[in-house]
Amino acid sequence: EVQLAESGGGLVQAGGSLRLSCAVSGFTFDDYAIGWFRQAPGKEREGVSGISTRFGTTVYSDSVKGRFTISSDNAKNTVYLEMNNLNSEDTAVYYCAARSSHWYLLESLKVPYEYDYWGQGTQVTVFS
């Protein structure tokens, strides 16, 4: 059974940092690229970052570039999203998702339906 389990969300003051984790099981880790998406109340799901677990390619949306860093630990089957200098616009439920293709990662952040498996999400709330 494929499972993606996010953790690390919480309440943080503006300007602070959080690190999210996405633990993957049920498939060969480097067969899938991993993306991080977020969804705020009343807004569409937004792709913020992606990583090819096979080639190491990383991509970011303009809204988080320079503040968020994605990484993977292939030995632990885990992808991380380090989030720094958080602001209120980062408040959302964050999801990780797995995509069977490692190509066109940046474009795939705008096409959530290209991702085959999703986690349950973790809430990030940034307060002033």
- How much is the average pLDDT of 87-116? 97
Asked whether 124 and 40 are in contact (CB, 8 A), the reply is no
* Structure-token pair, residue 83: 């989030």
Q: What is the pLDDT of residue 52?
A: 98
CA 58 to chain centre: 11
pLDDT digits (tens, 9 = 90+) for 12-23: 999 999 999 999
Reduced to 3 states, what is the DSSP secondary structure of residue 21?
strand
Average pLDDT across the chain, whole number: 97
CA–CA dist 61, 101 (Å, integer): 19
Structural element, H or E, at residue 11: strand 10-13
DSSP states of 43-87 as a string?
S--EEEEEEETTT--EEE-TTTTTTEEEEEETTTTEEEEEE-S--
- How much is the average pLDDT of 29-36? 97
